[in-house]
Amino acid sequence: MITSIRLVNFKNFADETLRIGPFTVIVGANASGKSNIRDAFRFLHGIGRNYTLAEIIGGKSRSDWEPIRGAANEIIRFGQEMFSIEVEMKLDYERERSEKAHYMIEIGPDERKPGEFQIKKEKLKIESETIYIAQSDGEKLRVHGAWDKEQKEILLESNRAVPMQLIDHFQVEAVSQKVFRKLIPKMADIYFILSDMRFLELSPDRMREASFPGANVLGDFGENLPTVLEEICIDPERQEILTSWVHELTPMDVQGFDFPRDPSGRIHLRLCEANGRQVSAYSASDGTLRFLAMLAVLLGRNPRGLYFFEEIDTGIHPARQWLLLELIEKQAAKEDIQIITTTHAPDLLTFVNDSTFENMSVVCRLEDSHDAIIRRVAELPNARELRKSQGLGRLLTEGWMETALAFTEDYDEAEGDGE
């Protein structure tokens, strides 16, 4: 799992770090930089999918990979030459104990190819051992690592991240089984973490569509919802959990689900109420469908990895947002998943538990500046006391978080000037 991400000269962040827990909430005004954090995670996800830098930033044709938002040259903070992303992780895939890993990648323009990018530096460290360090020589990446006592360098392409290239290199070249067994699983773990990310932008219209049998993975826009829910309902225990949550989260008296086939074999979704009424997905409300999609994510088969939602409260009635919050907090605490969401909903913040509060951050764009900063809400002056006396929802509505953050930054700058 990822425990923190540091952004240096990435879009409008000069040098900011976001702490990440099982459930991480990000608040902030519009245009403050919340979506830029999502873009940073998408960049890492592109690395996990073994894409080239051109594909990650500019999009990959004939696939579901969209370009990083904005012009390509805007990914580097204005006036700077390079950006870097650093990630702290815990590696615990099929291990007796977890290990701490630090991964850093620095990107800049490719001077040989105007408009293109290349890796300038890359490093992977696990616990106290440096697995590799890669430096660009202008054309290739010169990689030194823990696989050879003589520290012989390996030359790799500078347009693609190192770990998968190294794995391919070791499989082709003759290396000792000891080196192979030691390094390959660790580098593979990095890719598992970076590739196990989902960026969900749920569209009710896409969720209403019928799906083909066997399509048991929920799409980023909510596609395949009928087949994913049908797969959940095969297990009586999971079906009971699904039904009980839908019953709590919606005004419908849902007792079960039906999945009829049309002549083409596609599967449709119907919600069955206690009075015998059946409501098709085409008639269900947007909020109900969003609830169902989130339940499909959280209750699906072997959920794991990182899920990023923008404005998770969209379409959810304020009176039921606390139930959605309870569902996410419970599932994130017991499953091998992480959930990150942005929100503007005061009602959602009012009911967060202590763990979520500690992993809540505010993003604020500094006055008269393009730069944005990220701070944990718990670190703002008197935040814990004000949370108990006034509630986070009220503090968000009144703009206290941004005001406190800006005041703290101004004070720190003034202190620095006085030294």
Q: Are residues 292 and 153 in the same domain?
A: no
Determine which of 252-266, 337-351, 396-410 has the lowest per-residue pLDDT on average.
396-410
Domain boundary residue among 277, 307, 337?
307
pTM of the model: 0.90
Kindly state whether residues 177 and 263 are assigned to the same domain.
no
> Same domain for 130 and 229?
no
Distances (CA, A) of 18 to 27, 63, 354: 12, 30, 18
- 261 with 319, same domain: the answer is no
What CATH number did the domain enclosing 157 receive?
A: 3.40.50
Of the residues 307, 322, 339, which one is the last residue of a structural domain?
307
* Arithmetic mean of pLDDT over the chain: 87
Band (pLDDT 50/70/90 cuts) for residue 343 is confident
Ranges 69-73, 120-124, 165-169, 174-178, most confident: 120-124
Q: Same structural domain for residues 173 and 320?
A: yes
**Order of strands across the sheet that contains 278-280:** 254-258, 270-273, 278-280
In the prediction, which pLDDT does 347 show? 79
Percentage of the chain exceeding pLDDT 90:
46
Domain end (from 307, 339, 354): 307
Conformational region of residue 286, where left means phi above 0, alpha means psi within -120 to 50, and beta covers everything else: alpha
**Would you tell me how many other CB atoms lie within 10 Å of the CB of residue 313?**
23
pLDDT digits (tens, 9 = 90+) for 150-199: 567 889 999 999 988 888 887 766 555 566 667 777 788 888 899 999 99
Condensed to tens digits (0 to 9), the pLDDT of residues 200-227 reads 888 999 999 999 999 988 888 999 999 9
Residue 26 tokens, joined: 């990000």
Is 80 exceeded by the pLDDT of residue 26?
Answer: yes
Name the domain count of the chain: 2
Is residue 415's pLDDT more than 60?
A: no
Q: Are residues 193 and 255 in the same domain?
A: no
Q: What count of residues does the chain have?
A: 419
Contact of 8 with 83, CB cutoff 8 Å: yes
* Domain extent for 344: 1-201+310-419
